[in-house]
A = this chain, B = another copy of it.
Amino acid sequence: MIIVGELINSSRKVIAEAIMAQDVETIKKVASDQFAAGADYIDVNAGTFVDEEIQYLTWLTKTVQSASDVPCSLDSPDPNALEAALKVHKGTAMINSISLEKERFDKILPLIAGTDLKVVALCMSDEGMPKTVDDRMRIADKLVNSLTGKNIALENIFMDPLVQPLSVDGTFGMEFINSIEKIVTTWPGIHTMCGLSNISFGLPGRKFLNRTFMVMAITKGLDGAIMNPLDRKMKASIIAAEALAGRDNYCMNFLKAFRAGELE
């Protein structure tokens, strides 16, 4: 599982305060904790600061990279903010994200065309959120064709079919994970990505539902997630599911986690 640590987001009060105070130590601590917990990318998001987003996203990127050895996931719909953050970023960043919404698509595509950047591609268009597998596949097909047409390798695309809440429609869970399955079988080599906590919106027992849904999505081929890497129970579910799905040679990772007391 390719884990994008989600904790450095200005929608979280502790992060917003640290950004406003330009508190380097707090941001470095949240970055290094996520790195130590196994994050493959550290997401940086300053989206709540509309006027200062460019400045703050750049500062976050520099600060995070001074405290962790993994690339950042640069999280913004604004191409100017992404471009500025890319200028200070060391290594190969992940762009989070492009979608088929026309304005976003037209502005982000030139930034990533012909590069070896990783890119999260949301199955969203100007027609709104997709509901069914077919809705998502129509958008995914256009995204894959456009991106690979601009010399972006399939292996650098992380397709996010977008989870919708189960409380709205009982079919939304299976439609999402069946989309994952269809995407990975249609384009071998592509990656998938999701922030899956939206599945449990409006229901009780959310963390338990989220963990269970993660296991189901892994069963269908999910290999990337934007999540809290410090969530031990979620990590344990991922480790067990990947072993059972045959993605953990000789169950080495599972056995190591068990010996380290990381399972339950």
Contact = CB atoms under 8 A, between A and B. Distances in A.
Contacts of A177: 219
Contact of A264 (B208, B219, B220, B248): B208
Which of A213, A215, A248, A250 has the most chain B CB atoms inside 10 A of its CB?
Answer: A215
Interface string A222-264: 0000000000000011001101111011110011001000011
Interface residues of A, number: 37
A208 B170 contact: no
Interface stretch (A13-21, A72-80, A123-131, A198-206): A198-206
Contact of A174 (B203, B216, B240, B245): B245
A47 interface: no
Contact of A216 (B170, B216, B263): B216
B170 A246 contact: yes
A153 to B, nearest CB: 27
B236 A216 contact: no
Given A166-B251, A251-B167, A174 B246 contact: yes
Interface in A142-171: 166-167, 170-171
A212 B212 CA distance: 8
B208 A236 contact: yes
Contact of A213 (B205, B244, B263): B244
A173 interface: yes
